[in-house]
Amino acid sequence: MTTSGTVASVTGTTFTVSGSSGGGSSFTQSFTVTRDTTVVAAGAGTASARSGGMAFIAAVGVGDQVTVSYRKTGDALHAESVRVTAKKK
């Protein structure tokens, strides 16, 4: 599954994305980040904790626009990849 929105909060292991889904309705989704999560961001290339890449919070910040590919595992949403489409100005 895929979603896009604005990062509302971020830690080293979780982040929250908010946005609108047409028709005036809004959404908030919380994702877990693991060593398998891939991050693509300007200046960061592609990084993951597995390859010893940069910390998640160094590449993704509050206010950034992101597209997240994720899977549902039980009640949790696991971020498989996070692409920063625009950094907060």
Average confidence score pLDDT of the chain:
86
Cβ-based burial of 2 (10 A; exposed 0-12, middle 13-18, buried ≥19): exposed
pTM across the whole model: 0.85
What is the sign, positive or negative, of the torsion defined by CA atoms of 30, 7, 28, 70? negative
- Could you tell me the residue ranges of all domains in the chain? 2-86
Q: Which CATH number fits domain 2-86: 3.30.930.10, 3.40.630.30, 3.40.50.1980, 2.40.50.320?
A: 2.40.50.320
pLDDT of residue 25: 87
Residue range 20-44: average pLDDT? 85
